[in-house]
Every structure is written in C-alpha cells, then in structure tokens.
Amino acid sequence: MGFTLVAPDQPKEACALLARSAPGEISVLAGGTDVLPDVEAGRVRPSRLLSLRRLPWRTLGWNGGSLTIGSTLPLREIEADPGVRERIPGLAQAVHAVGSLALRHRATLGGNLGRAAPTSDLLPILLTLDAVVNLVGVDASRSVPVDQFVVASRSTTLRPGELIASITIPEARPSQYVWQRVRPSNDISQVGVAAARASRPPYWRIALGGVVPRSIRLEGAERLLPAVRPLVSELEAAAALAARLAPFATDKRASEAYRRQLVGILVRRAVASISPPIVPPVGVA
Ligand SMILES: Cc1cc2nc3c(=O)[nH]c(=O)nc-3n(C[C@H](O)[C@H](O)[C@H](O)COP(=O)(O)OP(=O)(O)OC[C@H]3O[C@@H](n4cnc5c(N)ncnc54)[C@H](O)[C@@H]3O)c2cc1C
C-alpha cells in the first residue's frame, strides 16, 4: 500500500494534522530508523507519513547548567557536542551506545522517547538526569518528567495531536552509562546501567535498561549511597540490592540470572567511575 509524505514547517500545523487523523492513519517520522522498518514490514500501514524534518526542533542549547535538546536533532550531533561530552559525559556515552554511526546520523532523541522501548539506551540516562519532556499540542504545551512520560513498554503519555518538541536536562551532572551486549555495535543491550551524581542531596541516581516493562530508577539502591563519595561497603550493598530488585526477564538476548549478575557489576563500575569509593584504613571495620 502507498502513502503520502507531509512535512509541515509549523508545530501547530503538524499537531493539527495528527489530531484530525484516525488511529493508524498517520505515522510520525523523525529519523525513521524505527518507523520505516515497521512500514516496510507491514507492522503499521499508514496512509500518510508526517515528517518532522522541517520543524524548528533541530537544536541544542545551554541555559547556565541546564541543557535543552530539540527532539529532531540527530543523535550524532548530541554525541559530538563538546559541551555534552564534558558536562554530561553519561549522555554522550549513552548516545554513542545506540546502533551504528550511520544510524546515529538519522536517529533522534524524540524518536527514541516516542518508541519507549524497554531496551532503549537513552531512557536510563535521562532518568538519572531528571530530564523533562516538553510536549506541544494543538491548543496547549506541557512538560512531563521522563519517569512519567513512559508508562509501559512502547507506551507513553502522549495525547492525540501531541508531539515531543524538546527534552530539558535541568542540571549538568557527572554521569556514566555502561552496558553489556553480545556484539559491541548494531546490537541491543542486554542490560544498561546509568548513574549520575546531583549537586545536592539526595546525590545519587541509578537507572536500568533491559528490564521489564520499562526503564526504571532503583531508588532503594540510591538511598544506600548517602554521600558524594560512597564507602566501599555502601557501594557493595547498593550493587547487591540493585541486582536483587531489578525486574529482569529471560529473553533471546540473555537469561534473567545472567542479567542479575551483570547488573551488580555494572552498578559498581558506573558509580565508582564518577566517585571512586572510599576504602577504610586497614583494621577499621
Ligand atoms: C539496526 C538498529 C539498531 C538499533 N540500535 C539501538 C540501540 O543500540 N539502542 C537504542 O536505544 N535504540 C536502538 N535502535 C532503535 C532506534 O534507532 C532508536 O529508538 C532511535 O532513537 C529512534 O529515533 P528515530 O528518529 O529514528 O525515530 P522514528 O523511527 O522516526 O520514530 C520512532 C517512534 O517515535 C515516534 N516519534 C518520533 N519523533 C517523535 C516526536 N518528536 N514526537 C512524538 N513522537 C515521535 C514515531 O511516531 C515512532 O513511533 C536501533 C534500531 C535499529 C534499526
């Protein structure tokens, strides 16, 4: 079945087109790395594709310590930005983890959020950065914390006629994203762990990808790290709790038991690379 491509240059016009369409009639196209394979395979059969390429959302801007990224900026431009690499290293690492270089020249942050896959490499780091998703609709705009934006696997709080305009990261944080996969590139992570350290207490955020039904923060484990630099014993306890609490499942990529073992190692590695843990002097418990 054929489809027509529409590419408005005004956000309100794009939202109005979406709002007027029947369910399934129109598919939103950003980089197309998820949606075009779906169209080709017949998993979706839209009569129109709504391209976002002409909308003014291919942006990246700092306001003091806060960063706002337009939803249609290709991932490669985020990863290559010197400010992002220096001030929010975990975000650059997570973006770098997505597919191949060619894919990252097309794929966008808005598309990754819109897809809301439990295997996303970007959701865990956005959770640790307390990111906010800025949405635009026909009549109103609103902002939603990323942990409320994704409600379940492939399901978001987007309302009919709404689009993701941008994502705001309120504070640049020392951060780290570590992941494990069978093949380093062009594969999906078996587990991804993000960690970030806020400037004020509570300092630590730890989030997981590769869990079901969606990426989550591990607040129980975070609470075991009360200070900027954890004690070795605190980090060990947090990693062990993370491994126990994580809602893993067995799938074609890895078993639940393997993922559980992995997550303890990755939590330890992510937190220690931000703040090396304090080793008590010999003889002190
Ligand atoms: C070979 C391959 C490897 C991959 N590897 C990884 C990986 O390692 N890690 C990972 O996380 N992902 C991976 N992906 C998934 C994919 O590339 C990402 O999810 C990508 O960020 C999607 O962005 P896009 O712009 O291409 O989205 P699109 O395909 O254009 O859109 C995806 C979905 O989001 C919706 N959408 C897009 N933009 C908006 C918007 N502004 N507002 C509202 N809804 C919107 C669309 O309607 C669609 O449902 C891979 C995909 C492929 C094909």
Which pLDDT does position 253 carry in this prediction?
86
| Domains 60-169 and 176-274 equal at CATH topology level | no
Q: Is the CB of 115 under 6 A from ligand 1?
A: yes
Mean pLDDT for 203-208 is 98
Gap from CA of 76 to ligand 1 centroid (Å):
13
For domain 60-169, the question of CATH label 3.30.465.10 is answered with yes
Atom 2 of ligand 1: nearest residue by CA position:
99
Which pLDDT does position 188 carry in this prediction?
83
Q: Is the CB of 166 under 6 A from ligand 1?
A: no
Gap from CA of 108 to ligand 1 centroid (Å):
7
- Do residues 176 and 274 lie in contact, with contact meaning Cβ atoms separated by under 8 Å? yes
Task: Work out the mean pLDDT of the chain and round it to a whole number.
Answer: 95
Helix orientation angle between 256-274 and 232-245, rounded to the nearest 10 degrees: 150
Which pLDDT does position 185 carry in this prediction?
63
Q: Is the CB of 103 under 6 A from ligand 1?
A: yes
Segments making up each domain of the chain, as ranges: 4-51, 60-169, 176-274
* Burial environment of residue 33 by CB neighbours within 10 A (0 to 12, 13 to 18, 19 or more): buried
Gap from CA of 106 to ligand 1 centroid (Å):
9
Which pLDDT does position 210 carry in this prediction?
87
Nearest-angstrom CA–CA distance, 117 and 96: 17
Nearest-angstrom CA–CA distance, 106 and 33: 7
Which pLDDT does position 189 carry in this prediction?
85
Residues 6+ apart with CB under 8 A from 74: 31, 58, 104, 105, 106, 107, 108
Which pLDDT does position 221 carry in this prediction?
97
Q: Is the CB of 108 under 6 A from ligand 1?
A: yes
Does the pLDDT value for residue 60 go beyond 90? yes
Q: Which of 55, 52, 98, 50 is nearest to 77 (CA)?
A: 98
* Residues 130-139: tens digit of each pLDDT: 999 999 999 9
Which pLDDT does position 249 carry in this prediction?
87
Which pLDDT does position 199 carry in this prediction?
97
Mean pLDDT for 104-124 is 97
* Cα–Cα distance list, 155 to 19, 141, 255 (Å): 18, 20, 24
Nearest-angstrom CA–CA distance, 118 and 128: 16
Which pLDDT does position 1 carry in this prediction?
61
Q: Which atom of ligand 1 is nearest to the CA of 120?
A: 11
Q: Backbone phi, then psi, for 179, in 5-degree steps?
A: -145, 165
- Do residues 226 and 234 lie in contact, with contact meaning Cβ atoms separated by under 8 Å? yes
Q: Is the CB of 114 under 6 A from ligand 1?
A: yes
* Residues 162-198: tens digit of each pLDDT: 999 999 999 999 999 999 887 766 678 889 999 999 9
Which pLDDT does position 186 carry in this prediction?
65
Does the pLDDT value for residue 248 go beyond 90? no
For 242, the token pair is 């993370």
The fold adopted by the segment(s) 176-274 is Enolase-like; domain 1 (3.30.390)
Q: Is the CB of 120 under 6 A from ligand 1?
A: yes
